[in-house]
Amino acid sequence: METLLRIENVSMRFGGLQALKNVSFTVKNNEVIGLIGPNGAGKTTLLNCVTGFYKPVEGKVFYKGKEITGLKPHKICQMGLTKTFQLIRAFKSLSVLDNVLIGALLKSSRKNEAVKFAKEVIKTVGLEGKENVLAGNLTPADQRSLELARAIATKPEILLLDEIAAGLTPAEVAELVEILKEINKKGLTLVIVEHVMQAIMPIAGRIIVLHEGRKIAEGPPQQIRENEKVIEAYFGEE
Amino acid sequence: MLQHLLEVAIEGILIGGIYALFTLGLNMIYGVLEIINFAHGEFIMLGMYIAFWLFTLTGLHPLLSLAIVFPLLFFAGAAFERVTIEKVIKAHIFIQTVLTFGLLLLLQNLAYFFWSADYRAIRLNFPLISLGSLHISTPRLIGFIGSVVTIIILHFFLTRTKMGTGIRAVDENPIAAELVGINVKKMRMVTFGIGTGLAGVAGVFISLYYYIYPTVGSIFILLAFIIVVLGGMGSFVGSLAGGLIIGELESLSALFVGPQWKEVVAMVVFILILLFKPTGIFGTGGRK
Amino acid sequence: MNVRLEKSAINKLIILIILSLLPLYPSPYFRRTLFLVLYFAYLGVAWDLLGGYTGQGSFVHAAFVGLGAYTSALLFIWWRVTPYISMFIGALVSALFAGLIGYLCFRFGLRGHFFFLASIAFLVAMRYSFTNWDLVGGATGLIIPLESHVPWFYLQFESKLPYCYLMLIFLFAEILLAEKIVKSKLGYYFVAIREDELASESLGINTLRYKLISFVISAAFTSLAGTLYAFFVGYIAPETVLSDILTVQIVIVAILGGAGTIYGSLIGAFIMVPLMEYTRAFLGARSGLDLIVLGSLIILICVLYPHGLIKLIGKIYHKLPRIRGDH
């Protein structure tokens, strides 16, 4: 399988706080990677370093062999790599369709085409029938789906999802997992950041564990579940 | 020449202290209400006129008129806040800004209507103070000392009283303040009142050495904007340092570049700060 | 879909017909007021593209009125350049200036209150500079000399009537263009930036670039009106075309009508300008009473209708031409 994303020795500091320390891993085409770790492990920071919202103080990020470290987020998105936000950032005073349309306009030169594609994506995430509802009036679960749809509409090759299951009921999580499986089947590579391990285990092919800014484990879900370092990181302080 | 330079430098510090005082008022309002009060300069103007009329009509010394100016402008500001600004506290910042501009137009033109556009001045003879061969402007010195005293009182109010602590809490985090039972609405009202009151007090000090006319406030509001951005929005220490720096800059640029260009110099400095360090010297990193 | 589009076209036609009948009322004073209404509506729409749609509230806009007015006036005084040409030179100057200050401000992500302050600082710095600059007439300003033997060539008419129609043509051309922009990819990107800049970046939108585009378009539109105004009044000075009050009037027109609606500016102008003009006529400009009334009204409207008057009027006549939602 072709390597899509390569992260090499990425470190990030905020003032005196070492948020990431020498993190390296690769993501291959059409994989589903789970990125887990306790609160404050540096998961969101890592996503932000990859997608250009932060510039890492050390290390490099390669996408399809090209270095993308320090590029602006929009540039990275145009290359085919985007993310969703941990806190929902839907365009609240716009309709569901307009939200997704804005994403779709990136790769469709004509508006009609973009509208058609946006409607398809809305269907994929299960928001059909709500096209004209204002995003601000959606339930939190629907807003999460909307954010997913908006990101998919930019036709990325890798999608990084930041705690997309946060605040959802178990039933909603199960539904979301089905949607994610489906979009992965269509060829999209996923990196899923999750605080709760259970949500990610059923779909992730490989799991990477961060703790206090360092990568402490990497491997298939079964192996991770039995890894002592991981157990300690999650339960050690309690 | 050196002596003249030194005199100009001292004058810069003296007026800088007064600038710091009215800027503190603007900055407090920004910190607690997250509103830029465009009418702030008009409260300075009102302070100047009140001092002038009390002096002209009753012979009351301007410094004694402080006892009337502060409470009067405090209540005027607090009432205005409660009746209007409180209603748009959740509205878009465009609306909030335009609202305070409406107040600016109203106050400026009320002054114009009642008191005409004539330039007025409080004619008081102050003894000249000399340090060796250096001459120091007495009215500015009085204004400076008065400002310092007011700022110290304000500092004690904010750090040692219950209400002051409440105001600082709202400034820090209004939601958390609400949760711990602080009456945020009341704090907003009081803060606006204190802000306008401080502008009035500064106005009284300025009236000791400056002309009084209806649009005089626009000079000072622009200075206050510069200072607040230079020192950092929401920063107490920043307003003090910024006030002194801008006072100094104004005096020196009038000396070296020519008095008619001093506003341009101030504006250019302002733009440079906004462009290169928009959080200001003592800014909190764009927290707000 | 077609039905809806037709409806909006009919609405537009009705508005156009009413507006083109109004100047026929033969009172110079009425026509002057009408010109100012159309002028402010035009400026409001231009401001709205940047402030209402892209969400960047600018207080520098009087500077573009000034650049348009000064460029055309100087070119006329020096070489008798016709305003038909010089207005585009002025628009170019304004666009360049907007690009420059936009780049300086947006590069570091100045927004909200900071952008307010930065933009007003640019305006004030410019006014002070023009006041001290003899080449552009200093504080006294510039008088545009009369060349009335070729009125259409130099836009110098005795009657206010042609000015009204000229401004009306500009306003309608602008509204049509603005609607086209708002419905295009450009417009969607503007709104996305207004709603959430970080999310826009994550969707591949170059926010700096689109903010600059919005600023430049808005400035160029604004500048054209500056030229028309200069030839309408025949006299310009820093106090009239570079004043912060002018900027605030533009903002008020756009906001009171309802920011981000285009037609809101028309409503805003029809309320604000006659109020100002007639209070001035009745109460006298020298007393300051007109501005006392204006100030009080601004406060009152802000408090009573913090979301703009278009919502209120929309309730009364909720089939106003719509620009969003018809895909």
Domain count along chain B: 1
CB-CB contact of B141 with B131 (8 Å): no
Its domain, for residue B154, covers 2-117+136-276
Structure tokens at B154: 């304000």
Q: For A71-115, what is each residue's pLDDT tens digit?
A: 999 999 999 999 999 888 999 989 999 999 999 999 987 899 999
Touch between chain C and chain A (3+ CB pairs, < 8 Å)? yes
For the domain that residue B185 is a member of, what is the CATH number? 1.10.3470
User: Is B144 contained in some domain?
Assistant: yes
Average of per-residue pLDDT values in chain A:
91
pLDDT at C77 over 90: yes
pLDDT in the model for residue A54: 93
* Cβ–Cβ contact C205 with A under 8 A: yes
Where is average pLDDT lowest: B96-100, C266-270, C289-293? Answer: C289-293
Among the residue ranges A76-80, C16-20, C63-67, C177-181, the one predicted with the least confidence is C16-20
Q: Is the pLDDT of residue C318 over 60?
A: no
- The pLDDT value recorded for residue C310 is 64
Q: Which of residues 158-217 of B touch C (CB under 8 A)?
A: 214
Q: How many CA atoms lie within 13 A of C172 on its CB side?
A: 16
pLDDT at residue A236, rounded to an integer: 64
Q: Is the pLDDT of residue C326 over 50?
A: no
The whole-number pLDDT of residue C305 equals 82
Please report which confidence band the pLDDT of residue C323 belongs to, taking 50, 70 and 90 as the band edges: very low
Is B123 within a domain? no
Q: Could C302 and B92 be called an inter-chain contact, meaning their C-beta atoms sit closer than 8 Å?
A: no
| % of chain C beyond a pLDDT of 90 | 52
CA neighbours within 13 Å on the CB side: how many for C175? 25
Output the six-digit token pair for A107.
């790769």
The minimal CB distance from C203 to the residues A95, A102, A132 is found for A102
Q: Does the pLDDT value for residue C314 go beyond 70? A: no
Least confident segment among A176-185, B70-79, B129-138, C292-301: B129-138
Whether the per-residue pLDDT at B107 is higher than 90: the answer is yes
- Cβ neighbours of C191 in A, within 8 Å: 91, 94, 98, 102
Exposed, middle or buried: residue B13 (CB in 10 Å: 0-12, 13-18, 19+)? middle
Mark out the alpha helices in chain B (DSSP H runs): 2-33, 40-53, 62-83, 93-115, 138-160, 162-172, 174-179, 184-207, 217-231, 236-256, 262-276
Q: Does B99 touch chain C (CB under 8 A)?
A: yes
Higher-confidence residue of A15 and B188: namely: B188
Give the tokens for residue A70: 């320090």
Under a CB-based contact definition with an 8 Å cutoff, are residues B260 and C132 in contact? yes
Residue C150: pLDDT band with limits 50, 70, 90: confident
For residues A227-235, give the mean pLDDT. Answer: 80
Q: What is the pLDDT of residue C76?
A: 95
pLDDT at B287 over 60: no
Q: What is the mean pLDDT of residues C171-195?
A: 95
Candidates B34, B260, B274; nearest CB to C114: B274
- Cα atoms in the 13 Å half-sphere on the side-chain side of C69: 31
- Give residue C315's pLDDT band: very low, low, confident or very high (50, 70, 90): low
Share of chain A above pLDDT 70, in %: 97
Query: What pLDDT score was predicted for residue B286?
Result: 39
Nearest CA in chain B to C110: B278
Which homologous superfamily is A1-70+158-164+196-238 in?
P-loop containing nucleotide triphosphate hydrolases (3.40.50.300)
Contact call for A106 and C205, based on CB within 8 A: yes
Mean pLDDT of B133-158: 93
On chain C, the residues whose CB falls within 8 A of the CB of B104 are 295
Predicted confidence (pLDDT) at residue B252 exceeds the cutoff of 60:
yes
Give the pLDDT band of residue C4 (cuts 50, 70, 90).
Answer: low
Mean pLDDT, all residues of chain C: 87
Distances (CA, A) of B194 to B13, B97, B98, B107, B172: 24, 19, 22, 18, 18
The pLDDT, as a whole number, for residue B58 is 94
What's the mean pLDDT in C112-137? Answer: 87
CB of C121 less than 8 A from some CB of B: yes
Sign of the torsion formed by the C-alpha atoms of B115, B120, B124 and B126 = positive
Model pLDDT, residue C320: 40
Average pLDDT over residues C282-296: 81
Nearest to C212 by CA among C6, C52, C56, C36: C56
Least confident of C79-93, C129-143, C179-193: C129-143
What are the b/e assignments for A28-60, b being 16+ CB within 10 Å?
A: eebbbbbbbbbeebbbbbbbbbbbbbbebeebe
Say if B171 falls within a structural domain. Answer: yes
How large is the average pLDDT for residues C25-52? 94
Question: Among A131-135, B152-156, B259-263, C89-93, which is the least confidently predicted range?
Answer: B259-263
Is any Cβ of chain C less than 8 angstroms from the Cβ of B125?
no
Question: What ipTM does this complex have?
Answer: 0.92
pLDDT at C91 over 60: yes
Q: Does C286 touch chain B (CB under 8 A)?
A: no
CA distance to B28, B118, C278, C295, per residue, from B114 (Å) = 30, 11, 21, 16
Task: State the pLDDT at residue A78.
Answer: 95
Of C116, C256, C307, the CB nearest to B36: C116
**pLDDT score of C316 more than 60:** no
Nearest-CA distance A227 → chain C (Å): 35
| Ranges A50-59, A222-231, B198-207, B256-265: which has the least confidence | B256-265
Contact C326/A at CB under 8 A: no
Report whether pLDDT(C1) > 50: no
Q: Do C185 and A111 touch (CB under 8 A)?
A: yes
How many Å apart are CA C55 and CA B93, to the nearest integer?
Answer: 11
- CA torsion through residues B39, B40, B44, B46, sign: positive
- Provide the pLDDT for residue C327: 42
Q: Tell me if chain C has a CB within 8 Å of the CB of B86.
A: no
Mean pLDDT of chain B: 90
DSSP bridge partners of A3: A28
First to last CA, chain C: 8
The pLDDT value recorded for residue C313 is 62
In terms of C-beta density within 10 A (0-12 exposed, 13-18 middle, 19 or more buried), how is residue C11 classed?
A: middle
